[in-house]
Chains A and B, each alone.
Chain A
Amino acid sequence: MLPPLRSLREFASRVPRSQFETLCRAFFAQFFSSETVTSDEQLQKAMAGVLAFLITPALFSPIQMAASFEIAAIRFPEMLESMTRQMATVYITYSMVGVGVIAAVMWDSLSFDRRDAMVLGPLPLRVATVIGAKITALALFLLIVAFAVNVMTAVPFSMVAGTYKTAVGVARHFVAHMVATMSASVFMFCLLVTLRALVGGLSGRHVALASLLRFLLFSALLCFIIFLPLALQVEPGGRRRQASVQMMMIPPWSPTNWFLGLHEWIRGTPGAAWDAGARRAIAFTLACVASAILTTIAGYRRQLQIALAPSATDAVRSAARLPRAIARLATGRSRLARAVSDFILATIARNGTQQATIAVNAAIGLTMIVASLLRARGDLTQLMRPRTAVLWIPLILLYWIAIGLRAAFYVPSELPAAWTFRCNAPVQTPAYWSATRASAIGFLLPLGLLADALIAPLIGVRAAAWHALIVIPVVVMLAETIALTVRFVPFTRPYEPGHAKLKTRWPLYLFGLCAFAIWPARAAMYAAGRPADIVALAEWLWAIAVVLEIIGRFRARLWRMDPAEEYRGESAIAVLDIGIVLRNEAAT
C-alpha cells in the first residue's frame, strides 16, 4: 500500500538538504520565473504553450507518414530505408531547432550573471559547489526538455518505420532515434550555453547580440516548420511510374548529417560515410559539452570579477542616436515629449526583454518572407524584377516589427522605477501620445529604409528608391496606429499576460497585414515603373497617415499616467507605486 502523500512530504521535509541540492533547486527554478511577469502561474502557462507548440507537429507527423510507410512496405520495400533516413533528418533538425528555441527563451538563465555572483559570492560556498549545481540544473533542464521533445517523435516513428521489422529492429530504431536526436539537442543546447557564457562576460552590446540570436533561432524554427513540406516531397507511384521520396540537398558539413550518421551507425547501416558522420557527431557533441562546462566555470569567475569591480568598459554611449534624432523631429518642440521618446528608445536599445519581444515578431515576418520566396524554388531570376513577393519584404518586416514594438510597450522595464514618471511628470498630457508616436517612427523608419535597401540588389537601386516613397508613409501609418492603441507611457505598467488576445483578435492582425503590407505592395506593384503613379500612391498613403494623425491628436487628451494606487490586476498580486507589493484582497 502506498504511503499517504502527506507523510511522504513530511518525510522529505525532514531529510536535510545539502548546499548543492538547495542551489540546484534554486538554479532550476530560475528557468521558470521572470521578473517582468507578475504571475508565475501565467509564465508557466506561457511555457507550456511554447512546449505544446513545439511538440504537437512532431507528434502528428509520424502518424501522418504511417500510410506512406505502409504502402512503401507493401509495394516499394527498397524505398523504406531512404524514407526512414529522410524522416530521421527532419527529426534531427527539428530536435536541434526546437531545443535551440527553448534555450533562446531561457537565455538569461543559461549562465551566471552579476547578481548570482553578488548573492553567492559572500556565502560560505565552495566555487565547485556553485558551478556544479548550475551545471546539474542545466543538465536536468536539458534532459527534461530534450526528452519531452524527442520521445514524442521517437515512439510513433519507431512504430511506423519499424512495422516491417522485428521487435528488436523496432527497439534498435527507437534507441538510434533517441540517441541521435538527444545528441543533436545536447549539441545545440551546449553551443548556446557556451555562447551565453561568452556573451555574458562581454561588456557593451551583449543585450543586442542576445536579441539577434533569439531572432535567428525563432526564424530558424518557423522557417523549418514552413520549409518542411517543401523540403520533403513524397510522390505516390502509379502504374507506369515508380513512387519517389525526394528531399532537398543538405550540405555534408551540416551538423544534421553528422547526427544522421550516428543514427544510421546505431541502426547498423553499413557505410563509411555513416561511420565518419557518427564519429564527428560524438566528437563535436563532447567538445560542445566540454566547452559549455568550461565557459560556465569561466563565466562565474568573470561575473564575480565584474560584480566586485565593474569594468570601465561598462560605460555607455548615447543610445539609438539615429532613432532619437528622427523622433525629435517628430515630437517638435515639446520637452516633455522629447524626454519620453528618448526614454522609450533608450529602453528598447538597452533592454533584452523588450528586444526579445520585437525579435520574436520580426522572426514571424522573416518567415512569411521566406515562405513567399520559396515559391521561386531557387530561381533567383524570378525575383530580379519588381513583384509583390519582393516589394512586400520591407513592408511585412515593418508590420511585424511594429506588432512586436507595440507588444514591447506593454512589458515593463524596472517597474519600481516608474515612480519617476508618477512623481515628476504630469498625470495627463498629449505629450505622451506624441512621444510614443515619435519613438515608433524613430524606431521603424531606419529599419524600413534598411529593409528597402536590402531589396535593391534584386529590383535595382532606382526601383528600391521609388519604393522608399511607399515605405516611408507606411512607417508613419504604423506609428500612428500603434499610438492610437496605447494610452499610457510605455514600460511603466505591470505586464498583463494575454493582453494581445491572439485567439480572438487574429482577424484584426490579418487585416493589419493586408492594410500595411499586402495592399500597399500590390498597389506599388501596379504602379511600378510609372513615377507619377508611385507619387500618387504615396500621396494617398500620406493622406491616410494624416487622418490617423488627426484622430491621434484628438484622442491624445485621453492619455494619462496611472494613479499609483488604482491599478487593477486580475491576479492576486498587484504591484503598487514604488515597488510596494500588496495582496489584492478582493482577488484573494
Chain B
Amino acid sequence: MLAVRRLTKHYGALVAVHDVSFEARPGEVLGLLGPNGSGKSTTVKILTGLLRQTTGTVQLDGADAFADLEGYKRIIGYVPEEPHLYSYLTGPEYLRLVGRLRELPERALDDKIDRFLQLLGIYDDRHQTLSSYSKGMRQKILIAAAVLHNPRIVVLDEPFSGLDVSAARVLKGFVRAIADEGKIVVFSSHVLEVVEQVCSRVVILKDGRIVGHDSVANLRATLRLPSLDAVFASLVAEENVEERTNGLVAAMKA
C-alpha cells in the first residue's frame, strides 16, 4: 500500500501542498481531482520521486518509500502531464532508451516495444521522429514507456489528453485491468467523467488541501448529489460560475 502522510510542499513562500494524507491500495484506482493550481501535479511529482516534499512522508508497505529511491523508482511507472519527449528520437528509439535505462533484457524489450506499438496503433509510424507525432501519439508513447517494465505502482497525470475516443476507451479499460492485476494506480485528471468511470476512490484537492476523500459513490451519497461533477462543484465551490461566464463573454466582445 502507498500511503501519503501529512505531505507539505513549499516553493519559497508559496504553499503548493498542505498537510495532505491519503492511501492508494493495490487493486484500486485512486483519483486525484482538483482545479488548476490545487496541488495535484506537485503531489504526483512527489509520489514519483521527482520532487522532494518539505515535510511529511510517502510510505510504501509501511516503510519510507524514498529511503531506497532507486528501488522505489524501479517499481513505479509515470505518465507526466506534459508530453515532453526527445523529439529527435523515433517512438521505438525512445521506448528502447527507457527500457534500457530500466535495464530490461534486450531481446524481450524489442518484442515488447513492437507489441506495444502495434496494439497502440502507431507501428506504421515507427520510423518517424517524435517531432512529427500528434499529441495523441506522443501520449501513447508515454503510456507505453510508463508500463514497459510492468511496474507495481502506476502514476498517471492526465493520461488521456489528446487521445481519440477509441484509444481513450481502450486505455480506460487498460487502467482498470492493471488495477485488477493488483497494481496501485494513482490517476490525476481534470476530466470528471473519466475519473468517475475509472477510479474507485477520489481525493479532491483545493488550494493544496484535501477537501474530499472517499469513493465516488460515498461522496455522492454523503453530499446527496447526483454526479461527481456536482460533488466537485460543491466541494471546490466554484463561486459565481454564471457571473464569471458572463464576464468572459463580455471580455470577448469588448
The residues of A with any CB-CB pair to B shorter than 8 Å are 310, 314-317, 335-336, 338-340, 342-343, 346-347, 350-351, 413-414, 416-417, 419-427, 563-565, 577-579, 582, 585
A414 and B86 within 8 A (CB)? yes
Chain B neighbourhood of A342, CB < 8 A: 93, 96-97, 100
Q: Does B52 lie at the interface of the complex (its beta carbon under 8 Å from any beta carbon of A)?
A: yes
Bound complex: CA of A419 vs CA of B101, how far in Å?
12
> How many contacting A-B pairs (Cβ < 8 A)?
103
CB–CB B82/A579 < 8 A? yes
16 contacts between A and B (CB under 8 A): A317-B127, A335-B104, A342-B100, A350-B88, A351-B88, A417-B85, A419-B80, A420-B85, A420-B86, A421-B101, A422-B50, A423-B80, A426-B70, A565-B52, A577-B45, A577-B51
Given A339-B96, A565-B51, decide whether A578 and B101 contact each other with a Cβ distance below 8 A.
no
Rounded to whole Å, the gap between the CB of B41 and the closest CB of chain A is: 9
Chain B interface residue count, Cβ-Cβ cutoff 8 angstroms: 41
Chain B residues with Cβ below 8 Å from A579 are 82, 84
Other A-B pairs, 13, CB within 8 Å; known A340-B101, A351-B88:
A310-B132, A335-B104, A350-B88, A417-B87, A419-B80, A423-B49, A424-B101, A427-B69, A564-B45, A565-B52, A577-B45, A578-B50, A578-B84
Q: Assess A414 versus B82: contact at CB under 8 Å? Given A315-B127, A339-B101, A578-B50.
A: no
Q: Give the Cβ gap from B179 to chain A, nearest Cβ, in Å.
A: 21
Instruction: Determine if B93 and A346 form an interchain contact, defined as CB atoms under 8 angstroms apart.
Output: yes
Determine whether B78 belongs to the interface, using a CB cutoff of 8 Å to chain A.
yes
Cβ of A419 and Cβ of B50 under 8 Å apart? yes
Chain A CB within 10 Å, residue with most, of B51, B81, B94: B51
Q: Does B90 count as interface, using CB distance less than 8 angstroms?
A: yes
Distance in angstroms between the alpha carbons of A579 and B73 in the assembled complex: 20
Any A CB within 8 A of the CB of B106: yes
Q: Is the pair B73, A578 in contact by a Cβ cutoff of 8 Å?
A: no
Residue of A nearest to B149 (CB): A424
Query: A340: which B residues are within 8 A, CB to CB?
Result: 101
Closest Cβ of chain B to A414, distance in Å, is: 6
Cβ of B48 within 8 Å of any chain A Cβ, yes or no, is yes
Query: Cα distance A582–B76 when bound, in Å?
Result: 26
| A416 pairs with B82, CB closer than 8 A | yes
CB-based nearest B residue for A491: B86
Contact (Cβ within 8 A) A314 B69: no
Q: Is B102 an interface residue (CB 8 A)?
A: yes
**CA A420 to CA B106, docked complex, whole Å:** 19
The answer to whether B90 and A423 have CB atoms under 8 Å apart is no
A351, A423, A425, A564, most chain B CB atoms within 10 A: A423
User: Smallest CB–CB gap between B49 and chain A, Å?
Assistant: 8
Which residues of the other chain, B, contact A346 by a CB distance below 8 angstroms?
88-89, 93
Of B11, B97, B104, the contact of A343 (CB 8 Å cutoff) = B97
Query: B103 at the A/B interface (Cβ < 8 Å)?
Result: yes
Residue B128 lies at the interface, judged by CB distance under 8 Å to chain A: yes
List the A side residues contacting B128 at CB < 8 Å. Answer: 310, 314-316
Among B51, B52, B86, B100, which residue has its beta carbon within 8 angstroms of that of A339? Answer: B100
Nearest first, the 8 closest Cβ-Cβ pairs linking A and B are A339-B100, A315-B127, A416-B84, A310-B132, A350-B88, A425-B101, A424-B101, A417-B84
Name the CB-closest residue of B to A564: B50
The answer to the question of B129 belonging to the interface, with a C-beta cut-off of 8 Å to chain A, is yes
Contacts of B104 in A (CB 8 A): 335
CA distance A420 to B84 in the complex (A): 9
Chain A residues with CB under 8 A of B49: 423
- Please indicate the chain B residues that have their CB under 8 angstroms from the CB of A426 in the complex: 70, 73
- Whether A335 pairs with B106 at a CB distance below 8 angstroms is yes
Q: How far is the CB of A455 from chain B (nearest CB, A)?
A: 34
Q: B97 to chain A: which residues have CB within 8 Å?
A: 339, 342-343, 420
**Are B70 and A427 within 8 A (Cβ)?**
yes
Q: Is the CB of A413 within 8 A of B88?
A: yes
Q: Is B98 an interface residue (CB 8 A)?
A: yes
B129 CB contact (under 8 Å) in A314, A339, A417: A314
- Output the nearest chain B residue to A584 by Cβ-Cβ distance: B12
A416, B12: Cα distance in complex, Å: 22
Q: Contacts A316-B129, A423-B73: A336 and B82 contacting too (C-beta < 8 A)?
A: no
Contacting residue for A423 out of B78, B99, B129, B132, CB 8 A: B78
Whether B88 pairs with A578 at a CB distance below 8 angstroms is no
* Given known A314-B129, A417-B85, contact A564–B100 (CB-CB < 8 A): no
Distance in angstroms between the alpha carbons of A578 and B94 in the assembled complex: 17
When each residue 37-74 of chain B gets 1 if its CB lies under 8 Å from chain A and 0 otherwise, what string results? 00000000100111110000000000000000110010
